[in-house]
Amino acid sequence: MHERALMADLVRKIEAVAAEQGGGRVVGVRVHLGALSHFTVEHFCEHFVDATRGTVAEGASVEAELGGDLVDPRAQGVVLESVELARGPVSKSRAPSPARILSPPT
């Protein structure tokens, strides 16, 4: 159940970033998997495919990094680090990013 809740929250965040940037299909996401999130990179990718079916992120590529720090404040969660849209990325940070739409850390 923990994994399902993390994935539902992640999909909501991805859809919100896409909508905020004017819509479009999501073609890539980058996430940080906390050391206590109950995910391996492979397991996360399987859940991502299921969770994004029928959404703007269906078929998006995933870049996932597994954290190793058990006391990191993000250790129990999945942190959305970036979203890339098909129409071209737009940076949300102060410094322009040619590759990604950045989502603020949660």
51: amino acid identity, one letter: A
Structure tokens at 88: 């071209």
Per-residue pLDDT, 105? 40
- Taking only the tens place, the pLDDT of each residue in 37-64 is 999 999 999 999 999 999 999 999 999 9
What is the rounded distance in angstroms from the CA atom of residue 103 to the CA atom of residue 19?
A: 12
pLDDT at 99: 33
Encoded amino acid at 77, one letter: G
Q: What percent of the chain has pLDDT over 90?
A: 72
- Output the pLDDT for position 23: 87
CATH class given for the domain over 2-102: alpha beta
**Dihedral (Cα; 62, 98, 67, 14), 10-degree rounding:** -50
